[in-house]
Homo-oligomer: A and B are copies of this chain.
Amino acid sequence: MNTWLDIAVDCDFSIYNLPFGIFSTHKKKPQVGVRIGNYVIDLEQTRKLGLLNIPRNICNQSSLNPFIGLGKKRTNAVRMQLQEWLTQENSPLKRHFDHVFHKISDVKMHLPVKIGDYTDFYSSIEHATNAGKIFRPDNPLYPNWKHIPIAYHGRASSIVVSGTPIYRPQGQFKPADAQTPIFGYTKELDFELEIGAIIGRNSEHGKSISTAEAEEYVFGLVLFNDWSARDIQRWETLPLGPFLGKNFASSISPWVVTLEALEGFRVQGPIQEPQPLPYLQVEGIRNFDIQLSAKLNETTITNTNFKFMYWNIAQQVAHHTVNGCNLKIGDILASGTISGSKVGSFGSLLELTWAGKNQITLTNGETRTYLENGDTLTLAGFCEKGGKRVGFGEVVGQII
């Protein structure tokens, strides 16, 4: 497909992508937009011009939830119509260009969804094994890990959009050589490279979703940085899991890339042995080939891929609802840290520095074990195949 817009070949926001987000300008309140190249299509304006048949009070809202609530069939029809017009020289979108398009440099991006509940999985076997080796050398992977897509509930209120500064959290932790805990700023501030799935459909309380239906409940994906304070986490985590070591902030990318846009980038996931219980078995190709990276200031410190995930999104949704737990539009199911099998593909400093034992050296000669004040951490991700590129842009956070 060719569009009449000028878009760089390596742009994440190609004609094949068209993700949704919430933007504002200094004249317009936060509302629904679609990203293409370095522009944002103003969906409310498009609707007002009579070009798109979307009900009122959907596109002018400050979260995507009402738009997502229209259902995949209608939201994807909007995407397809925009895609068609973007390839037609004589399209209403082109005729109304000045009314409908904003330069990306003129907009501010906001949290794309109102998040009800946020769940964090632990679905990368490489990450779980690494974390296990660090904390429990004798018993890296618990006996349940290959039977259950392990997860815990996280904090929704402190999820922020890319660009929001991250305050170094204070808390309680116990230095290895101390008898009692101390209070102070975390000394082990870390990132976690994850992908977040945005729930696109309410499920009924008491009803399970099968792996076959699961993707109908997912609107799209974002990059997700689950900031972590390892010293706080270590001291608090038994017996009920992470709490203050995680809930001070998580950052997400502003553009929700739809599952439809990712369709062409499916790949087979790792072989699951032993075979999971029937409710977790999947048919079809359920992993996605998304190239991921993390940059600490100017230095790329990891390159990994979403395709390494042992448990896929369909299995996560099926597991989450097998007991009747209900999902709501805007909920986020994050993947857990995504690591590959080599050092350069680990998705956290915990793993990259092996819990602070091995420093990493940045391109300017500085070294790091954990994040320092002023550091900027940037996650990026994209799919590429046969000359088509569909990307997520970045999720950026600076420690202050």
Contact = CB atoms under 8 A, between A and B. Distances in A.
Interface string A132-151: 10010000001110011011
Interface string A144-164: 100110111111111010000
A240 B151 contact: yes
How many residues of A sit at the interface, in one of the four size bands? 35 or more
Given A142-B238, A147-B181, A183-B279, A158 B326 contact: yes
Interface of A: 116-117, 122, 132, 135, 142-144, 147-148, 150-158, 160, 167, 169-172, 174, 180-183, 205-206, 208, 229, 232, 235-244, 247-249, 274, 277-279, 319-320, 322-328, 331
A93 to B, nearest CB: 38
Contact of A247 (B148, B156, B325): B325
A167 B323 CA distance: 9
Q: Which 3 A-B pairs have the closest CB atoms?
A: A241-B241, A169-B323, A153-B153
A236 B148 contact: yes
A395 to B, nearest CB: 17
B150 A240 contact: yes
A160 B277 contact: no
A170 B244 contact: no
A237 B153 CA distance: 12
A239 B183 CA distance: 24
A188 B313 CA distance: 29
Copies in the complex: 2
B242 A157 contact: no
Contacts of A243: 150-153
Contacts of A249: 205, 324
Nearest to A128: B239
Given A148-B172, A153-B154, A157-B117, A244 B323 contact: yes
Given A153-B247, A183-B278, 11 more contacts: A144-B236, A148-B181, A148-B236, A150-B239, A153-B243, A155-B325, A171-B323, A181-B277, A183-B277, A232-B323, A241-B241
Nearest to A274: B180
A152 B207 CA distance: 25
A151 B245 CA distance: 12
Nearest to A235: B144
B279 A156 contact: no
B325 A158 contact: yes
A158 B331 CA distance: 13
B238 A240 contact: no
Contacts of A171: 322-323
B240 A152 contact: yes
A181 B57 CA distance: 48
